[in-house]
Amino acid sequence: MPFEPQEALCRDRGFSAVCGIDEAGRGPLAGDVYAAAVILPPGCDLPGLNDSKKLSPQKREQLFGAIQAQALAWSVAFATVEEIERINILQAALLAMKRAAEGLLPPADFALIDGNQKPPLSIPCETLVKGDSLCASIAAASILAKVARDRQMLLLEERYPGYGFARHKGYGTRQHYEALARLGPCPVHRKRFLRGVL
């Protein structure tokens, strides 16, 4: 899909390493919240790049490797369930974004953030609502974060069988609520999210 030239506009302002940042997993009832930061080279070729929510799991997996291969730098980070419980999901998502940005090597000198909330970065940044549909580097970050989180949920399926994590990825589906009613919460459930449910 055609993206707006967000990174080029930032380079025109004198920035040389512009990263896109996005998160995955703010809404689920279980699991960590993930974020990714990506610096793409000008003119990179990633056919099918789009907001991760608009792609099939197979296409996301395909693009995951392609993004890693072509990016000038990429980083995936997360905030734990314990951190979500302690500081709330918004602050945990911003913390994961900060960690992702700090993990870039070489580092970015400007960040484009999906949404309308800025993480506490040491570099200048701007937010972009629906940025994963407008900006190539944010779309790439959304894919890395989503795939990394989905892979975590597959591992949690093995560790905590019966909840269906591999299928619903921790979201509040009927199957998930039925499993919670039958089994009760496990250690990777976000207790804040279950208030009034159980």
pLDDT tier, 117 (very low <50, low <70, confident <90, very high otherwise): very high
Q: What is the share, in percent, of the chain residues with pLDDT greater than 70? A: 97
- Partners of 24 in the β-ladder: 34
- Which of residues 20 and 196 earns the better pLDDT score? 20
Residue with tokens 């380079």: 11
CB 145 within 8 A of CB 67: no
Q: Is the pLDDT of residue 196 over 80?
A: no
Query: Which domains can be identified in the chain, with CATH numbers?
Result: 6-151 (3.30.420.10)
pLDDT at residue 143 in the model = 98
* Helix extents (H) in the chain: 6-12, 57-70, 81-87, 89-102, 131-134, 136-159, 165-168, 174-183, 191-194
Answer with the residue of higher pLDDT: 31 or 195: 31
Average pLDDT score over residue span 180-196:
94
Overall average pLDDT of the 168-197 stretch: 94
- pLDDT, one tens digit per residue, over 86-106 is 999 999 999 999 999 999 999
1 vs 55, which has greater pLDDT? 55
Predicted pLDDT at 4? 79
Higher-pLDDT residue of 43 and 85 is: 85
Angle between helices 57-70 and 136-159 (to 10 degrees): 120
- Residue 195: pLDDT band with limits 50, 70, 90: confident
In this predicted structure, what is the pLDDT of residue 43?
85
Q: Is the pLDDT of residue 144 over 80?
A: yes
Res 45: pLDDT = 87
Please calculate the CA angle 36-38-41 and round it to the nearest 5 degrees.
170
- What's the pLDDT score for residue 88? 97
Is pLDDT above 80 for 164?
A: yes
Q: How confident is the model at residue 198 (pLDDT cuts 50, 70, 90)?
A: low
Is residue 1's pLDDT more than 90? Answer: no
Mean pLDDT of the chain: 95
